[in-house]
Structure 1
Amino acid sequence: MERAVALRLDVADRIDHLPGQHYVVRLTAPDGYTAQRSYSVASAPDDPQVELFVERLEDGEVSTYLADVVEPGDVLEVRGPIGGWFVWDGSTPALLVGGGTGVVPFVAMLRAARDLDRTDLLRIAVSTRTLAGLPYADELVAAGALVITTREPRGIRPAGRLTDADLIPLWEPGQTAYVCGSTSFAEAASQLLIGMGVPAPAVRIERFGPSG
């Protein structure tokens, strides 16, 4: 994916994260001005390093620094892992529905499932403008994720949005549904799930977007 970087961090005295948690990266300028941004963890809990995926936003105070300036050996101020709701425990069936960079926490879940030899517990559906613009595209495709592209055809399927017809074959009773993406995507995807009959308490939502 262009305009993006995957940062691999050595975090001293770190606590093992749960798949779905995030870290806050805080930057402090020489004049004392601070800016911070939350980034989902892409690495599995057993990974000795913490992997964060950073999409470079043109007006992003933190993302431009992390993508353009940071070099190996630099020291960053981070806080985490954070979050207790949007996490997967590694033992229960889950349907993962992601849009764009919202797939990052699902990569952590997939990697954890692979380490546990429980990839059978996960079903993954992804919506992206183009395959080239999807973070971790090769890894997700190799894992059997359903990838829907909205700006280009994919195989025999024309470009189009994710629909309930895509999700119905992936849903099984007893799953927890995790939805992650932009506010508009999260709203649309969660409504699709509810409309399919997925119980509202079984739907967990995480919204991504630029900070103010």
Structure 2
Amino acid sequence: MARGVQLRLDVADRVDHLPGQHYVVRLTAPDGYTAQRSYSVASAPSDPLLELFVERLDDGEVSGYLADVVEPGDELEVRGPIGGWFAWDGVSPALLVGGGSGVVPLVAMVRHAVDTGRTDLLRVAAAGRTRAGLPYADELVSAGAVLALSGEATGVRPASRLTAADLVPLWEPGQTAFVCGSTAFVGAATRLLTDDLGMPASAVRVEQFGPSG
């Protein structure tokens, strides 16, 4: 995970989040200039600390500071939890599909399912270039996730992008799909779900961001 860091924050009077929600982190320079970015929550609601995954971006003014400058004991301005559409209720069957750092909110869903003993409700597919570069890859594999890696083989699966063949064994009637990643990844994964698997568009919820995924 060379291009990312996990931040564990002690947030006073924190309201429990729903798996899939995010927080905004705001930085203020001495001259008053401010910059803020949104980061998905990786921790389960039961975790006493708030865990955010920050992908280090080239020339990223916020991610660079959070990844390379922040030290234990520093204070950050955060706001959240935010978002309701891309949030798992913890009781409904779901198909989770994440690309790159888009797996982060899905990790929160998996951890919540483990805490509540409902891992039977989730099926997970995680896509990336390599296993070493995919956030939380080992934890996701331990939870039964299918890895679709474009830069290296995974067992008998050859290196390739996510395909319908990866998703078919995970699909079950009545699932809601949660798809998170870059704009390109979300578009491609959504087409696999709706065109190839036949999921209704109303059953697919997406969260997308810039090209970093």
TM above 0.5: yes
Say whether residues 1:34 and 2:34 are aligned partners. yes
Deviation at 1:30, TM superposition (A): 0.5
- Give 2:69's aligned residue: 69
**Which runs of structure 2 are paired with 1:121-132 in the superposition (5 Å)?**
121-132=121-132
Deviation at 1:155, TM superposition (A): 1.2
TM-score (norm 1): 0.98
**Which runs of structure 2 are paired with 1:100-119 in the superposition (5 Å)?**
100-119=100-119
CA deviation map 1:21-52 (0-9, x unaligned)? 00000000001110000000000001111000
Paired with 2:159 and 2:3, the residues of 1 have a C-alpha distance of 23
Paired with 2:43 and 2:118, the residues of 1 have a C-alpha distance of 16
CA deviation map 1:131-183 (0-9, x unaligned)? 00010111001111000110111112211011111111111111000000000
- Give 1:168's aligned residue: 168
Unaligned runs of 5+ in 1: none
Query: What percentage of residue pairs aligned between the two structures are identical?
Result: 76
Paired with 1:210 and 1:34, the residues of 2 have a C-alpha distance of 23
Deviation at 1:208, TM superposition (A): 2.3
- Give 1:140's aligned residue: 140
**Where has structure 1 moved over 2 Å in runs of 4 or more?**
208-211
CA contact (8 A) 1:25 1:79 kept: yes
Paired with 2:53 and 2:167, the residues of 1 have a C-alpha distance of 26
- Give 1:203's aligned residue: 204
Say whether residues 1:58 and 2:58 are aligned partners. yes
CA contact (8 A) 2:182 2:211 kept: no
- How many residues are treated as equivalent by the alignment? 211
- Give 2:153's aligned residue: 153
- Give 1:48's aligned residue: 48
Paired with 1:147 and 1:98, the residues of 2 have a C-alpha distance of 10
CA contact (8 A) 1:37 1:62 kept: yes
Q: Which amino acid aligns with 2:199?
A: V
Q: Which amino acid aligns with 1:66?
A: L
Q: Which amino acid aligns with 1:193?
A: L
CA contact (8 A) 2:183 2:211 kept: no
What SS class does the counterpart of residue 131 from structure 1 fall into?
A: coil
What SS class does the counterpart of residue 132 from structure 2 fall into?
A: helix
What SS class does the counterpart of residue 62 from structure 1 fall into?
A: helix
Deviation at 1:12, TM superposition (A): 0.9
CA deviation map 1:66-96 (0-9, x unaligned)? 0110001100000000000000010000000
Paired with 2:150 and 2:139, the residues of 1 have a C-alpha distance of 20
What SS class does the counterpart of residue 67 from structure 1 fall into?
A: helix
Deviation at 1:210, TM superposition (A): 6.4
Paired with 1:185 and 1:210, the residues of 2 have a C-alpha distance of 9
Q: Which amino acid aligns with 2:85?
A: W
TM-score (norm 2): 0.97
